[in-house]
Structure 1
């Protein structure tokens, strides 16, 4: 029996003559409006949440918002460029970008620690770069590339499981060494969603779940020191008030901020908890400041924006010109939605504190620029060109 031939991507033939950018189909306006609204909302809340801690610790209330405005401008420019570029070019860039991200994930392990982690590359004269953000982007590109070329064989282990498992295994191992547990969970979640949408058999997911449980059990037996550590983290999550000045401090202050906001909030800029009570109000716990200043209504508005972005993205994926474009859209919008869910769950103490930023809101230049570049690719797919 003849073996099926693995498809290879070939670039589309160029039409004769020149194609002016002005004749390209328009991007999806609802999706663009949602992205711009999230960016604007995020910048306003970042300034409100960060100016107090920036003034107290840096002597300059604009310490966090000033670079974020610059990165937002650069990110919007990147989004515009990405929306004008034929997204099929990422077939060629998938493997090189994955290789680059792996190199950066190795290099970052030799960087100085910050808050007990090695997540940032320091670039003299420029700032910092977070390799995990590039890794998320590269994983979406690589998985979309592989699935779109081998979609008829995704039920097979050698095609639908093995290459994805190897990529996720290497990336996850490097990120755990930083350590970056939340980023690892996010990348594993994105990869699993793309594999599921791409057609990987359900039995492989069940086997992976059983294997993961066995691996955890083996780790407990081989490394018994993990048990007290895990127990401490679990106890801190279940009862943060047991250690109010230690492991439970951040969660407690976050819950105070959320509770004091009530239905309508204290008003924009009027948070009390951001005055050195909530640690990292400009970053991982910015959503608690949103709840305190804008109340339950404001928190629901933020969640609604992310839900609408996800739903619109799914609609664009369903109507994408080809499978590669659909997978890119699914990967990028699921990344945003899943990251938002994890952040809000941590801030509200629904899950243990893993340290993860809120997309478009938290301070971080690399994250914002990568997010906007990814949204530009979604907009490129929305043009409907093949």
Structure 2
């Protein structure tokens, strides 16, 4: 398998676990009277995820042709089931599994979209310029998933799905004129969502207002952003030192999840933040190399989809914590607390390694 890619993945996992414990022990002690409440299950999920990575790297990735549609069906079922789950922070994004924790269907939806799109494109890549082949099936899949995710509501997950889908369609050969059409349809879809899903209007309006001027409501919608910016600014060039963050002591909400990058900036400073960004950039570049060396279209598309998902999600998370874009509630891959996300990510990286393994076998 591709050793540089594997080293990058393992480095991100190890770095993420260290930062998760540092960022989470204060809030874990406060909420659950256990400083290890977040890192303990994350270590277990990381171990299971690494096993999944190894197994996926040994399996012929062509088997996922057969799993594409069943996985999409499973995603749709789970996205419906989650709508009947209890709310957390005003959203319904997690299915409670008694004795096992929680399951986030949006993570499985991302995986299924990459599988399904790669499957369809690889079988029809010669006809991708046609609307009936290169646009219609993808628009239908994304449309159904988007409606279900907006009902949660999960705006960041919806945006990520559209971003992943657009990249795969572009790489797969969809005609550029259809992307212009998609822009118009997207605007119409937003207008339709405003009319049909009125609960989204105040939700989105509050997020937009707090983004433009978070200090107008420092104890309300702007609180997260303000505390995040304080943490980032406090870090300076070299940071306060690992474990020495002040903002994680119940100032920054969700320091173990969406805003872990702001704690990282405070403890490791600008240099530490640049190191994390560099790791994600190298992962993207190495993924591009693997995609170019892939034995076939299907392997190349899987690699592009999985790697772009990780990097795009990282970019969105960093943009949120720095207030570059409105707060959308999105986690930082490999760093944020979340068992479903970590296991799915590592399994996906295993598939990329499977593609790299077969690419190297054909080369030599």
TM-score (normalizing by structure 2): 0.96
What's the counterpart of residue 115 of structure 1? 89
Q: Are the aligned partners of 2:153 and 2:200 in contact in 1 as well (CA < 8 Å)?
A: no
What's the counterpart of residue 232 of structure 2? 258
What's the counterpart of residue 277 of structure 1? 251
CA distance in 2, matches of 1:221, 1:83: 46
Q: Are the aligned partners of 2:245 and 2:266 in contact in 1 as well (CA < 8 Å)?
A: yes
Q: 1:210 Cα deviation (Å)?
A: 1.7
Q: 2:62 aligns with which of 63, 71, 88?
A: 88
What's the counterpart of residue 76 of structure 2? 102
Q: 2:181 aligns with which of 207, 214, 239?
A: 207
Tell me which protein shows more helix as a share of its residues: 2
Q: 1:44 to 1:98 in 2, by over 3 A?
A: same
CA distance in 1, matches of 2:22, 2:88: 25
What's the counterpart of residue 363 of structure 1? 337
Aligned residues: 360
What's the counterpart of residue 309 of structure 1? 283
TM-score (normalizing by structure 1): 0.91
Q: Compare 174-183 and 359-368 and name the one that shifted more.
A: 174-183
CA distance in 2, matches of 1:361, 1:160: 35
Q: 2:20 aligns with which of 46, 54, 72?
A: 46
Q: 1:218 Cα deviation (Å)?
A: 5.9
CA distance in 1, matches of 2:101, 2:334: 19
Which 4+ runs in 1 deviate beyond 3 A? 214-232
1:1-386 to structure 2, matched below 5 A, reads 27-217=1-191, 230-383=204-357, 384=359, 385=361
CA distance in 2, matches of 1:49, 1:207: 44
Structure 2 gap ranges (5+): none
- Alpha-carbon displacement from aligned partner over 1:80-120 (angstroms, at most 9, x marks no partner): 00000000000001001111111111111111111111111
Structure 1 gap ranges (5+): 1-26
Q: 1:53 to 1:198 in 2, by over 3 A?
A: same
Structure of larger gyration radius: 1
- Alpha-carbon displacement from aligned partner over 1:43-85 (angstroms, at most 9, x marks no partner): 0000000001111221110000000000000000000000000
Q: 1:214 Cα deviation (Å)?
A: 3.6
